[in-house]
């Protein structure tokens, strides 16, 4: 009869040690939030949601503070109708029309969007006013240069003309691209 209580005590001690070991290995997730529950920008650009537009990896690429800056990233329209998206920074404005339930990838040549002024030197964060229909929000957008190889091809060449404060309103439609090319050739 004395053997049974001894085994119970040993079993209880082993079970207690196992419970402590499990608690020790699971303790971090019990008191800390999981990183996968946070939305964040996994690249060099920023993330913002304004009205029906979801901006992903938004950034400006420029050689310096006085050179034109090219907008990179993606603007996705979650609504059933086209949406006018405008970006304004340091007196420079660019606009595109994002198709219904579609997206604009600014990296693609047909969607090239240039600001006459990036608003700051490469490495800085500039305040960009993003307007989507009647919704407006100021977001901090990074300005990068061609130091990283993946951005070298996107650095705009040339400098803005004297007195220029903004680029003409652009639309990411083939008709607007053809009209801009035709105007430039005259």
| Residue range 89-132, pLDDT digits in tens | 999 999 999 999 999 999 999 999 999 999 999 999 999 999 99
Are 111 and 186 in contact by the 8 Å Cβ rule? The answer is: no
Q: Which two tokens stand for residue 69?
A: 């800056």
- Distance (Å, whole) CA 180 – CA 108: 16
Provide the pLDDT for residue 21.
Answer: 73
Domains, in order of start, for the chain: 46-155 (2.60.40.3770)
- Distance (Å, whole) CA 77 – CA 167: 23
Distance from the Cα of residue 110 to its chain's centroid: 20
Phi, psi of 17 (to 5 degrees): -65, -40
Of 83, 108, 109, nearest to 96 by C-alpha is 83
- Distance (Å, whole) CA 36 – CA 101: 27
* 175, pLDDT greater than 70: no
pTM metric for this prediction: 0.67
Q: Which two tokens stand for residue 98?
A: 């994002």
């Amino acid at each position: 009869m004395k053997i049974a209580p001894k085994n119970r005590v040993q079993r209880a001690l082993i079970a207690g040690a196992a419970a402590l070991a499990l608690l020790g290995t699971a303790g971090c997730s019990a008191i800390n939030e999981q990183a996968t529950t946070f939305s964040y920008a996994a690249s060099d650009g920023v993330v913002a949601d304004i009205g029906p537009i979801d901006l992903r990896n938004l950034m400006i690429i420029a050689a310096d503070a006085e050179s034109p800056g090219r907008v990179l990233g993606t603007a996705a329209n979650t609504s059933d109708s086209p949406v006018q998206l405008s970006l304004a920074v340091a007196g420079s404005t660019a606009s595109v029309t994002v198709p219904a339930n579609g997206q604009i990838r600014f990296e693609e040549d047909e969607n090239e969007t240039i600001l006459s002024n990036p608003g700051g030197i490469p490495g800085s964060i500039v305040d960009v006013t993003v307007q989507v229909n009647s919704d407006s929000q100021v977001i901090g957008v990074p300005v990068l240069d061609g130091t990283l190889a993946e951005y070298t091809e996107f650095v705009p060449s040339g400098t803005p003309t004297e007195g220029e404060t903004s680029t003409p309103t652009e639309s990411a439609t083939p008709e607007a691209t053809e009209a801009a090319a035709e105007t430039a050739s005259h």
